[in-house]
A and B are shown apart, each in its own frame.
Chain A
Amino acid sequence: MTITLPEDFTTLCSIYQIKPDVFIQSFVDQVSFPHFYSRPHAPDRWATFFFLNFIDVEDAKCEVNDDLEDEYLTKFTDEIRQHFYPNQYDEAKAEEVGRVVMRQWMKAAMADRAKYITENL
């Protein structure tokens, strides 16, 4: 994977003495549905907002199976919500539970894609 670092970005990194790879690593570390949705007002929510905006506006750069998306996001939301209601809201547990669903979704998406390819052989 290659990334080109544009001038405006490298200028800021130089001025603020930030290593570009450290910055980019911080960013990707914070892109997470389980983490975001288990604590929607946390200060590290911006990277996930970036992701949400990206899938909203960059239609051409991504593609998802809509039915699976609806199914798993709904399941994801329901599972996390279950940890809102007992008296002690446990963020870590909610995140863990959310991550399990995300893994299930990924598995289902891969299987769906494989099926599509083999069907066309």
Chain B
Amino acid sequence: MKRINYNIIDIPLEFKVACTVYRQNIQEVLQIFVDHVSMYDSLTGEYSKGFSEATMSISSYTRAKVKKTKRSKAFLQCRDLAVSCINSIFHETRKPKGTTEAKRKKCRYFVNALYQIMERPHTPSIILYLDENSPITLTKDFCVICELQNCYPKEFLEYFMGRVSIADVQARSGLKFKEQNFPFDFFLEVARGFGRPATEGSDLTDMQIEFYQRMEELSLEVYNVRDLQERTAILRDFYLTYHQNMNQS
């Protein structure tokens, strides 16, 4: 049986297509995602743009994966201390006073403590690779959450990317099969500029302009196709063709 290399991330085709369509850099999107997964946001009830979507993406995965709660291996030897840190974070989220920024900053102290005391069976290295030249740096929050959930970073990242398919989302929403999709919501926010300083957009080529016009039309035009699979296939095909054309040069 082929041994899984947990340090190398597989990028699904649909995600590559989405990044081409929305003109995003894959490595950048993933790094911004990692940067916004946070312990504070996993315990708070309030909404923070970006942080909530990223963190809830992770909980969508763990809720689906974990049928029976298992003890975290990483915290077996220091359970009491870990519980105390987590309680402190929880307590911080409940404080009525103070800005979210300040509270999140304060929780870094507890996250650092968790990071120090835990074993790291799932996160031996804080650098992951998309390929030889594209590293992703994990944050302490991200590592702590991995270890608490007994999951590899690769799992979280591949789940995130797996949910980002423009065709799937458009086909469903048109047929009113709405379902929660935090990864896609997060991806759209990043595409709109979240997570980095504003930069001037580059000029679009004629082909791109034509594509974006056609994109709007097609999502309306497929209204008469009521079968989800068929509709998804039509949209997928359309986006894939564009992705292939853009990557030919």
Q: Which residues of A does B touch, CB under 8 Å?
A: 33, 37, 40, 49, 52-53, 55-56, 66, 69-70, 73-74, 76-77
Contact of A56 among B174, B224, B226, B227 (CB under 8 A): B174
| Complex contacts, B223 vs chain A, CB 8 Å | 52, 55-56, 73
Cβ A74 vs Cβ B220 within 8 A:
no
Contact of B220 among A56, A66, A69 (CB under 8 A): A56
Q: Which residues of B does A touch, CB under 8 Å?
A: 174, 176, 217, 220-221, 223-227
| With contact pairs A40-B221, A52-B220, A56-B220 given, residues A73 and B226 touching in the complex (Cβ less than 8 Å) | yes
Cβ B224 vs Cβ A76 within 8 A:
yes
For A52, A55, A69, A70, the residue with the greatest tally of chain B CB atoms inside 10 Å of its CB is A52
| Complex contacts, B227 vs chain A, CB 8 Å | 74
**Minimum C-beta distance from B231 to chain A (A):** 11
A49 to B221, alpha carbons, bound, how many Å?
A: 7
A87 to B220, alpha carbons, bound, how many Å?
A: 28
Residue of B whose beta carbon sits closest to that of A49:
B220
A53 to B176, alpha carbons, bound, how many Å?
A: 14
Cβ B220 vs Cβ A53 within 8 A:
yes
For B220, B223, B225, the residue with the greatest tally of chain A CB atoms inside 10 Å of its CB is B223
Besides A53-B220, A70-B226, A73-B226, 8 other A-B contacts (C-beta < 8 A): A40-B221, A49-B217, A49-B221, A56-B220, A69-B226, A73-B223, A77-B225, A77-B226
3 closest cross-chain pairs (CB), A and B: A52-B220, A70-B226, A77-B224
Cβ A73 vs Cβ B220 within 8 A:
no
**Minimum C-beta distance from B224 to chain A (A):** 5
**Minimum C-beta distance from A16 to chain B (A):** 24
A116 to B163, alpha carbons, bound, how many Å?
A: 40
A37 to B225, alpha carbons, bound, how many Å?
A: 11
| Complex contacts, A33 vs chain B, CB 8 Å | 224
A55 to B176, alpha carbons, bound, how many Å?
A: 12
- 9 A-B residue pairings within 8 Å (CB atoms): A33-B224, A49-B217, A49-B221, A52-B221, A56-B174, A56-B220, A56-B223, A74-B226, A76-B224
| Complex contacts, A49 vs chain B, CB 8 Å | 217, 220-221
A53 to B217, alpha carbons, bound, how many Å?
A: 9
**Minimum C-beta distance from B32 to chain A (A):** 29
**Minimum C-beta distance from A60 to chain B (A):** 15
| Complex contacts, B220 vs chain A, CB 8 Å | 49, 52-53, 56
A33 to B220, alpha carbons, bound, how many Å?
A: 12
Residue of A whose beta carbon sits closest to that of B227:
A74
A66 to B176, alpha carbons, bound, how many Å?
A: 10
Cβ B224 vs Cβ A73 within 8 A:
yes
| Complex contacts, B217 vs chain A, CB 8 Å | 49
Residue of B whose beta carbon sits closest to that of A59:
B176
A49 to B226, alpha carbons, bound, how many Å?
A: 17
Residue of B whose beta carbon sits closest to that of A69:
B226
**Minimum C-beta distance from B1 to chain A (A):** 44
A90 to B221, alpha carbons, bound, how many Å?
A: 20
| Complex contacts, A74 vs chain B, CB 8 Å | 226-227
Cβ B226 vs Cβ A37 within 8 A:
no
| Complex contacts, A55 vs chain B, CB 8 Å | 223
